[in-house]
Amino acid sequence: MLDRYWFGAVDRISPEAPVPVVRVTREEVRLGGAANVAMNIAKLGSSSSLMSVVGIDEAGDRLVELVASMGIQALIERDESIQTIVKLRVIGRSQQLIRLDFDAPPQQGPLLRLLGMFDDVIAMHDAVVFSDYGKGGLSHVVSMIGKARAAGKAVLVDPKGDDYSRYAGATVVTPNLAELAQVVGAWPNEAALSERAQNLRERLGLQALVLTRADEGMTLFDAAGSLHVPAVAREVYDVTGAGDTVIAALACMLGAGLPLREAMPIANRAGGLIVSRFGTAGLTYDELFG
């Protein structure tokens, strides 16, 4: 995805409707979605490759340029039948006033071509991240998880929707509170949460489930039980892309050989640091460990 920001001054209310008039003074574009995960991995100093499909349009050109500027290996199919996914945020007085989404699901042709390259790509890396945004790009995720696990790679999934069966066999799945509740239902207390999370983990054959809990930190559920790490108290400026930073840091740590129980507190710290910044952003190794 391409994250586009329009910044401007808000001096009056429109005479046409009770909405603010934003006089746009500056535009900024950043990598979003799976591209933001790849960028976060690259900024931490790890080798990063991105497999995706974008349109043959101006937004797709900008996205490809940004990916190249970050030193990310781009395995990007261009598909003239779709519009590159864009999230346009209009910012006035340091507040997001509205977000406009532009997207269309990719065709199977480009996805099958990427699937054909998948074995060669995973051979170059220690971890594979699947960022599911429900946009149709992961229609072959079951096969891809199987290939990655057969190759001995750590597989991390940022999930979407109410059916996690397609993520079966992954190393770790990282839902937030709302996403997990959509799958297992609301829980009345921590004991019920633990039981439902563990049942889901065992049913899917996951090594662990990592629950991101915003200002409550993160909780890891694995065969040994659960491990909770509280959030680091800091001013929250923007939660956009925080989940991308968390899974990117987790992937880097697992790829470096750290056990999940040692990697998760580092990912929690990364998430705590990134929310103090505006929009999708990344952390350097020195910022994370300094």
For residue 74, the cross-strand partners are 50
Distance in angstroms (rounded) separating the CA atoms of residues 98 and 88: 8
CB distance 114 to 137 below 8 Å: no
Q: What is the 3-state secondary structure (H, E, C) of 157-183?
A: EECCCCCCHHHCCCCEECCEHHHHHHH
Kindly write down the DSSP assignment for every residue of 168-229, as one continuous string: TT-SEE--BHHHHHHHH---SSHHHHHHHHHHHHHHHT-SEEEEE-GGG-EEEEETTEEEEE
Q: Any residues with CB less than 8 A from the CB of 271 and at least 6 apart, and which?
A: 212, 218, 231, 242, 243, 245, 246, 249
Please identify which of the residues 3, 103, 132, 244 carries the catalytic annotation: 244
Can 244 be counted among the known catalytic residues?
A: yes
Name the residues annotated as catalytic: 244
